[in-house]
Amino acid sequence: MRSQSLSAVMTLAAVLTLVAAMVHALTAGPVAIPAQDALATVARRMHIGDFDVTVLTDQIVWQLRLPRVLGAAAVGAALAISGAVLQSLTRNDLADPYLLGISGGGGVGAVAVIVLGFPVAGILGTAALAIGAFVGALGALALVLALSATREGDLPPARTVLAGVAVGLACSSAVSFMVTVLGDRNTANQVLHWTLGSVAGVRWSSAVFLVVVAVLATVVLIGFARTLDAFAFGENTARTLGIHVERVRWTLLGLTALVTACAVAYAGLIGFVGLVVPHVVRLLIGPAHGVLLPLSAILGATALVGADTLSRTLVESQEVPLGVVTGLVGAPVFALLLHRERRRLG
């Protein structure tokens, strides 16, 4: 009972922190906007009240910042919950979409769509990027599993990470090859900006798509919470409980590949969110997936909204790439977590 109360309190605190981070993100930028004006703009646009706001404030908050904030939250939630699921499936604390090459594969697919000249704006562009990224992510994941799986179907942690790193490097080379051989200068600049990570280009059509994907993925993956609890004790234990291990594994791997592909298509390659956030959540509330998964999604959303706000306010009149910010913040945090784990194990 005490554990449930603690989980409820922490979830509520996480939600309030996310809301606060999103409100702050609406106010921060080259043009500072008071929080009451930002909230009044959103309320007016949602027909909650007839508030008096300037045209400039309306354009900045509603057309530019809110879609970007929603996109960052959706991408952060998608990467964090995908990382939590991958770590549980593989029983590997280092597993995440970036290290396992899934993000890199999604990048190859998305860049192929860009280089081959498909339009990437609007609904059709959204679908083209997402499909290309999904095909690439699924192919990379299949290659990682083929390289790392034993004859018995197990996934040794060290071998899985090494296979993921190798596939990720191959994907990076493939992107460079496509840009160099098939692309022009404009394409190269577009791809370079994308690979460094950014949600600056997210507009309402993309934001709605990403939010729908993140919410649906979170709901569906939470439905597998008890199954993932069984996986934590090993696949043999899961089988004795009547779980069809292979079917569940491939279903969840496919879902995480799809979710990661959608995130990668619009935010580029962003590391550490899917790796660090699940670690932090496990330290706070333990391994029970009924709480771990939703809390990972909420904290992942908060982390990326905060990182995006930092990316556009850290340097005056210039944006720092989002992937650079997550790396600068995430790497030291992960190093601290590893140091803590090393001390715990002696």
- Mean pLDDT confidence for 141-145: 88
- Give residue 221's pLDDT: 96
Distances (CA, A) of 33 to 37, 95, 202, 282, 302: 7, 40, 20, 36, 20
- Mean pLDDT confidence for 117-121: 59
More confident residue, 65 or 250: 65
Which residues, including other chains, have CB under 8 Å from residue 63's CB and lie 6 or more apart? 203, 204
**Per mean pLDDT, which of 31-40, 107-116, 329-338 is the most reliable?**
31-40
Q: Comparing C-alpha atoms, which of 34, 79, 73 is closest to residue 309? A: 73
Rg (CA), the chain: 20
Which residues, including other chains, have CB under 8 Å from residue 56's CB and lie 6 or more apart? 31
- Mean pLDDT confidence for 22-51: 91
For residue 116, pLDDT over 70 is answered with yes
Question: How far apart, in whole angstroms, are the C-alpha atoms of residue 159 and residue 145?
Answer: 10
Percent of the chain having pLDDT more than 70? 93
- Mean pLDDT confidence for 175-200: 81
Which residues, including other chains, have CB under 8 Å from residue 277's CB and lie 6 or more apart? 76, 79, 80, 83, 84, 296, 299, 300, 303
pLDDT tens digits for range 290-304: 999 999 999 999 999
Question: How far apart, in whole angstroms, are the C-alpha atoms of residue 103 and residue 269?
Answer: 6
Asked if 82 contacts 267 with a C-beta cutoff of 8 angstroms, the reply is no
Confidence band, pLDDT 50/70/90 cuts, at residue 167 = very high
pLDDT tens digits for range 85-97: 998 888 877 788 8
Rounded to 5°, the CA angle 119-213-262 comes to 45
Q: Comparing C-alpha atoms, which of 2, 269, 270 is closest to residue 110? A: 269
- Give residue 285's pLDDT: 87
What is the tally of helices (H) and strands (E) in the chain?
A: 15, 0
* Adjacent-strand bridge partners of 318: 315
CA atoms 106, 121, 127, 181: torsion sign = negative
- Give residue 3's pLDDT: 65
Confidence band, pLDDT 50/70/90 cuts, at residue 113 = confident
- Give residue 247's pLDDT: 87
- Give residue 262's pLDDT: 87
- Mean pLDDT confidence for 125-132: 74
- Mean model confidence pLDDT for the chain: 86
Percent of the chain having pLDDT more than 90? 38
- Give residue 84's pLDDT: 95
Would you tell me how many other CB atoms lie within 10 Å of the CB of residue 246? 11
The number of residues in the chain equals 346
Residue type, 199: V
Confidence band, pLDDT 50/70/90 cuts, at residue 325 = very high
Question: How far apart, in whole angstroms, are the C-alpha atoms of residue 296 and residue 278?
Answer: 6
Please spell the DSSP secondary structure of 285-322, one letter per residue.
Answer: H-S-HHHHHHHHHHHHHHHHHHHHHHHHHSBTTBPPPH
Distances (CA, A) of 321 to 193, 307, 310, 311, 313: 8, 10, 10, 6, 11
Residue ranges per structural domain of the chain: 1-338
Domain 1-338 has CATH 3.40.50.10580: no
Task: Output the pTM of the full model.
Answer: 0.90
- Mean pLDDT confidence for 226-251: 85
- Give residue 346's pLDDT: 57
Q: 64-73, 166-175, 203-212, 232-241 — which is least confidently predicted?
A: 232-241
